[in-house]
């Protein structure tokens, strides 16, 4: 049986752990060749590649800090030279520094803005130089880019709100190539960044209609659909997978 991403090649930023690793595995399971980037976690990235190849897929891992334009362009170019082409970009790498706004330092602000917004711009510009017509640009925003859920996330949620307009604006610039641009907005998902245990988890869980954290695979399933040919008429959209957080 043919898989829905057979013949496609995907590039996932921050694919060594958490949501990015699940996306990489799911895209590969659906037939795509996958390149993942990471910043520090070489071992974790190698484990993702091993898992994909163990399941009969094809993957490579490339060290490339998402805030470094030269490294990201080199990673995109390497993806094309090793895997043949580029059809799908997943802007996944991101971070949060939960803290009251007044206590947040300028260095912490820069860190969040650099990775969550500038990093998305960098990877998208690099990928667009290589992307085929009918490609897919999928960014991982957040439900808090639309409506605040808990205190302590002001810079983070502002960057995720910016992804909404990045998505809408860019969709109008690349639509004539058949390239779609979409924003997948998860709710609380159990990862190293946001573990489903501890004090901070309780209000997040309570904010969902389903009264639970989501699993990384539940985000990956939506990304895989948006990456597929079936989603060819969805663009400029903000798609939530948040357990009803904003319901
Ligand atoms: P994790 O912290 O669990 O994983 C982050 C991944 O990004 C790792 O693979 C990490 O690799 C990589 N990464 C971090 N910094 C960089 C960098 N500078 N350059 C390249 N790669 C980097 O995060 P999540 O999986 O939880 O989050 C993934 C995305 O989902 C983020 O954009 C986040 O904002 C978003 N999101 C997460 C939610 C959640 O509840 N978990 C909810 C809504 C959105 P390495 O170890 O090598 O640094």
**pLDDT, one tens digit for every residue, the chain (247 residues):** 679 999 999 999 999 999 999 999 999 999 999 999 999 999 999 999 999 999 999 999 999 999 999 999 999 999 999 999 999 999 999 999 999 999 999 999 999 999 999 999 999 999 999 999 999 999 999 999 999 888 899 999 999 999 999 999 999 999 999 999 999 999 999 999 999 997 889 999 999 999 999 999 999 999 999 999 999 999 999 999 999 997 6
4 inside domain = no
**CA–CA dist 221, 110 (Å, integer):** 31
176 inside domain = yes
Closest atom of ligand 1 relative to the 42 alpha carbon = 47
Name the closest-CA residue to atom 36, ligand 1.
142
Q: Do 36 and 62 meet the contact criterion of CB atoms below 8 Å apart?
A: yes
Name the closest-CA residue to atom 46, ligand 1.
41
ipTM: 0.99
1 inside domain = no
**CA–CA dist 244, 47 (Å, integer):** 32
Q: Which residues line ligand 1 (CB under 6 A)?
A: 13-14, 16-20, 37-41, 65-67, 92-95, 115, 140, 142, 186, 188-189, 191-194
Any catalytic annotation for residue 38? Answer: no
106 inside domain = yes
Task: Give the residue numbers spanning the domain of 177.
Answer: 9-241
Q: What is the DSSP string of the chain?
A: ---TTTT-EEEETT-SSHHHHHHHHHHHHTT-EEEEEESS-HHHHHHHHHHHHHTT--EEEEE--TT-HHHHHHHHHHHHHHHS-EEEEEE---------GGG--HHHHHHHHIIIIIHHHHHHHHHHTTEEEEEEEEEE--GGGTS--SSS-HHHHHHHHHHHHHHHHHHHHHGGGT-EEEEEEE-SB-SSSS-SSSTTHHHHHHTSTTSSPBPHHHHHHHHHHHHSGGGTT--SEEEEESTTTT-
* Residue keyed to tokens 């904003």: 246
3 inside domain = no
Q: Do 44 and 20 meet the contact criterion of CB atoms below 8 Å apart?
A: no
Chain centroid, CA 231 distance in Å: 17
Query: Total domain count for the chain?
Result: 1
Predicted TM-score of the model (pTM): 0.98
**CA–CA dist 162, 116 (Å, integer):** 9
Q: What is the CATH number of the domain that holds 60?
A: 3.40.50.720
162 inside domain = yes
**CA–CA dist 41, 148 (Å, integer):** 30
**CA–CA dist 139, 209 (Å, integer):** 24
246 inside domain = no
Q: Which of 11, 12, 16, 18 most suits a substitution to test ligand 1, by most atoms within 8 Å of the C-beta?
A: 18
**CA–CA dist 1, 226 (Å, integer):** 20
247 inside domain = no
Chain centroid, CA 41 distance in Å: 17
Name the closest-CA residue to atom 23, ligand 1.
193
Please give the distance, rounded to the nearest whole angstrom, from the Cα atom of residue 77 to the centre of ligand 1.
Answer: 22
Closest atom of ligand 1 relative to the 65 alpha carbon = 19
């Amino acid at each position: 049986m043919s898989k829905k991403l057979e013949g496609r090649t995907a590039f996932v930023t921050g694919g060594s752990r958490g949501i990015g690793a699940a996306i990489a595995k799911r895209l590969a399971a659906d037939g795509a060749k996958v390149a993942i980037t990471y910043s520090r976690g070489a071992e974790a990235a190698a484990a993702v590649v091993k898992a994909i190849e163990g399941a009969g897929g094809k993957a490579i891992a490339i060290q490339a800090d998402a805030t470094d334009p030269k490294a990201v362009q080199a990673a995109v170019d390497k993806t094309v030279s090793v895997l043949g082409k580029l059809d799908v970009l997943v802007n996944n790498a991101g971070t949060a520094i939960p803290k009251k706004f007044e206590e947040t330092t300028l260095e912490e602000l820069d860190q969040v803005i650099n990775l969550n917004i500038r990093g998305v711009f960098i990877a998208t510009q690099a990928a667009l130089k290589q992307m085929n017509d009918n490609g897919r640009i999928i960014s991982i925003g957040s439900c808090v880019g639309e409506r605040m859920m808990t205190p302590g996330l002001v810079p983070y949620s502002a960057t995720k709100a910016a992804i909404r307009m990045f998505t809408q604006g860019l969709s109008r610039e690349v639509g004539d190539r058949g390239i779609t641009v979409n924003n997948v907005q998860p709710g609380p998902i159990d990862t190293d960044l946001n573990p489903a245990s501890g004090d901070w988890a309780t209000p997040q869980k309570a904010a969902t209609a389903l009264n639970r954290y989501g699993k990384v695979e539940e985000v990956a399933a939506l990304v895989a659909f948006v990456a597929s040919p079936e989603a060819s008429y969805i663009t400029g959209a903000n798609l939530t997978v948040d357990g009803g957080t904003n319901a």
